[in-house]
Structure 1
Amino acid sequence: MTNVAAPRTKSYLRYREDVEHPRADEEKDIDRIIAVLRDNNERAYRKYKHGVRDAHAKSHGILRGELTVRDGLPPELAQGMFATPATYPVIARLSSTSGVIRSDQLRGVRGLGIKVLGVKGQRVLPDDTASTQDFIMVTHREFLFADAHAYLTQGMPTAWVLARLPDPVLQGGSALLSELDHRVLRPLGMAVPPNLGVFIRPNTHILGETFYSSAPLRYGDYVAKLSYVPVSPEAAALQGIPVRADAGINAHQDLIVDFFANHAAEYELRVQLCTDAEKMPIEDATVAWPEQDSPHRTVATIRFDVQDPYTPERRAYGDDVLSFNSWRGIAAHRPLGSINRLKKRVYEASSNFRHDVNNAPRIEPSDPAELPR
């Protein structure tokens, strides 16, 4: 990943309402996915006697911070909420993407929900009266499945199994898969499929991770993907630092709490603009957008000061009250592509179930003071 100025002559794909091309059967596929995930929701509720998310169930920290839009951005980057310099309050939730509560010793994908407060503009959804802008990000740059159909046919069988396997089985399977990859596949010039590769990626300090939007979104007049990169010395130093095997089942939570007891952290929010709809497709989220054609470029800094990110009150607020959905935001940052259309309905269905069974209020904060200390 780079962070350089793009040539002034670069041509960027203009956003139009017809940039998306859904499959004819997409809504039926999403209906089937929601039905399976609802079964997983209900199973988790019976297990925990408490409703959890069907993805990102386990949080590791709930952070209060500030997002500052850079001054002097070039016109193609000065778009949407980044059009003018400003500072916004932020609430962020760090998580693992599993739909059940698992040990932090397990390898896998980590998640980041960013909720920006006080963002003005026309909303994506007509019935949305909030003033928040959500960005949902994960630690794999490309999504593991191209679209909703691929997620249904390839991802859901895996999700069904994973929801039912105990931690020791998953940990043993990851170790065997890692050994196979290292000793057999790589010497032959082969690799583990991406949807399995996430289970052998190193388990490293979550505050040193780079996060990605994976799927595209509207970026004002253009189309883009986002990344979130640690840049302050203390946070950047955590990149690639392994989680110790003796750190316990809540290792990420403990690492985050220990870090923010004494340190602040800064991250850059970076934008990769689409230059070519063929090389950088909207509907296939598995295709890497070439950095040489359009590098990630910084548009804002997110800073978190010293704080306690996992008090009981914060955990309850972040896990039970808050919801994160990239469709909650302004029209200038409308999510695009099949995976995002899938998330729109899946996230809403999961949030409805969780709030209903927990008898918890659904609140979109308007003031950062609403996040408990």
Structure 2
Amino acid sequence: MTSTTTYVPYDPDLERPKPDEDTYIDKIVDSLRGNNERAYRKTKRGLRDAHAKSHGILRGTLEVHDDLDDELAQGLFAHGGRRFDIITRLSSTSGAIRSDQMRGVRGLGIKVLGVEGERALPEDTATTQDFIMVTHRDFLFADAEAYYKRGMPTAWALARLSDPALKIGSELLAGVDKCLLRPIGRPLPESLAVFVRPNTHILGDTFYSSAPLRYGEYVARMAFVPSSPEVRALAGVRVADGTGVNAFQDMVVDFFSCHSAEYELRVQLCASSDRRWIEDATFDWPEEVSPHRTVATVRFDQQDPYTPERRAYGDDVLSFNSWRGLDAHRPLGSINRLKRKVYDASSQFRHQVNNAPMSEPGCPGDLPE
């Protein structure tokens, strides 16, 4: 079966970088390296410059649905019924280790094991496919230039602000939004609004790729959506004040001590060759033009997702990079070209100073119990 909607076929020429993009990317890499070094001097540990704090490391499976429409049966999802083992890391996107009472964007890294095929990068010899998602539907900055000019000042400040200062800032922003901006119909900029939105249960959140990737013969964005009743019931549930600095870790551990969980992996296919769909990561792909459609089910059984051994493996050994995977799922657009250099530089630094091996898991058993 095929859809009646016309989707844009993948073509390398869909990517149209600005002439000075590499200059901005190099400046960002240098600046973030400074943040890495500052964090190491402070904590004597190498931290990720984003997604520094983990809340749980999960072992699960990803099962491709049968009878997918032709345009959905692509790449990793080409063969219905195929089941892959996965390792998943839940995190906060901040590059600092903060209290879970702080509002912000949460992250999800999915590592699919046993994936054979042509790789996006020639030097990549792994057999894993990484998908990296966040709780913000669209990225906060359009491209590398916007990230350098507006995102880096925020990153600089967040690397230095204390939790109490950040909390006061969030409360002030919330007051400005409620009392001044909303009455006149002017929303906060999205890069600030994420510090105002309520803190919700991470297992009930929906996660998004927030930037496009190749999807076999097409181009797509992805979403990770709660589907089993137990996690659907957690959608929008507020994190109560006073639940502690590690509230998310406690919630995840408590949940999986007595529950399993299922999520749907959905894709939204690109339906326009307009440059914004690929190069502007803030551009919202309209659902009425191209809705998200389910291609796979992700399942997690009962487990202890944050034993000391798992935490050490997740923090020191595991790395996630959207460029680690099949050429059929090559990341696209300026923000993803930025991530290629940023993620690699951060991982190299972290593993080096922590004297930790850079190795990819080959089987589920590589993740400690």
With the length of structure 2 as denominator, give the TM-score of the two structures.
Answer: 0.99
Q: From 293, 299, 305, give the equivalent of 1:297.
A: 293
2:51 alignment partner, one of 30, 35, 56: 56
Aligned match of 1:11 = 6
Residue 345 (1) aligns with residue 336 (2): no
Q: Distance in 1 between matches of 2:347 and 2:17?
A: 24
Q: CA deviation at 1:279?
A: 7.9
Count of aligned positions:
368
Structure 2 CA distance for aligned equivalents of residues 38 and 350 of structure 1: 7
Pick which of 274-283 and 113-122 moved more: 274-283
Matched, 1:35 2:38: no
The alignment yields a C-alpha RMSD, in angstroms, of 1.0
Q: Does residue 100 of structure 2 align to residue 95 of structure 1? A: no
Q: Deviations over 1:26-65 (max 9, x none)?
A: 1111110011100000000011111000000000000000
C-alpha deviation, 1:363, in angstroms: 1.0
State yes or no: 1:255 paired with 2:251.
yes
Whether 2:117 is the aligned partner of 1:138: answer no
Q: In structure 2, what is the Cα distance between the partners aligned to 1:212 and 1:20?
A: 21
Aligned residue among 270, 273, 277 for 1:274 = 270
Report the counterpart of residue 17 of structure 2 in structure 1: 22
Q: Map 1:224-263; keep pairs closer than 5 Å.
A: 224-263=220-259
Paired residues of 1:265 and 1:305 also in contact (CA < 8 A):
yes
Equivalent residues of 1:137, 1:212 under 8 A apart: yes
Aligned-pair CA distance for 1:8: 2.7
Task: Tell me, yes or no, if the aligned pair for 2:16 and 2:275 is still in contact at 8 Å.
Answer: no
C-alpha contact 1:317 1:372 (8 A) present in aligned 2: yes
Shift of 1:280: 5.5
Matches within 5 A, 1:59-78: 59-78=54-73
- Partners in 1 of 2:197 and 2:86 — Cα distance? 29
Answer whether contact 1:226 1:271 (CA < 8 A) is retained. yes
Distance (whole Å) between structure 2 residues aligned to residue 305 and residue 108 of structure 1: 28
CA contact (8 A) 1:105 1:243 kept: yes
User: Take 2:261 and 2:290, find their aligned partners in 1: how far apart are those partners?
Assistant: 27
Cα distance in 1, alignment partners of residues 147 and 256 from structure 2:
37
Distance of 1:104 and 1:221 partners within structure 2: 40
Report matched runs for 1:171-320 at 5 Å: 171-278=167-274, 281-320=277-316
Q: CA deviation at 1:176?
A: 1.2
Matched-pair identity in %: 67
CA offsets, 1:268-317, max 9 Å, x none? 00000011122861000001000000000000000000000000100010
Residue 281 of structure 1 aligns to a residue in which SS? helix
**1:170 and 2:166 correspond:** yes
Native 8 Å contact 1:280 1:289 kept in 2: no
Counterpart Cα distance in 1 of 2:101 and 2:203: 16
- Report SS of the residue matched to 1:218: strand
Q: How does 1:349-364 map to 2 (within 5 A)?
A: 349-364=345-360
Other-structure match for 1:119: 115
Structure 2 matches for 1:319-334, cutoff 5 A? Answer: 319-334=315-330
Matched, 1:129 2:125: yes
CA distance in structure 2 between the aligned counterparts of 1:121 and 1:363, rounded to whole angstroms: 19
Matches of 2:252 and 2:198, distance apart in 1 = 18
Aligned match of 2:39? 44
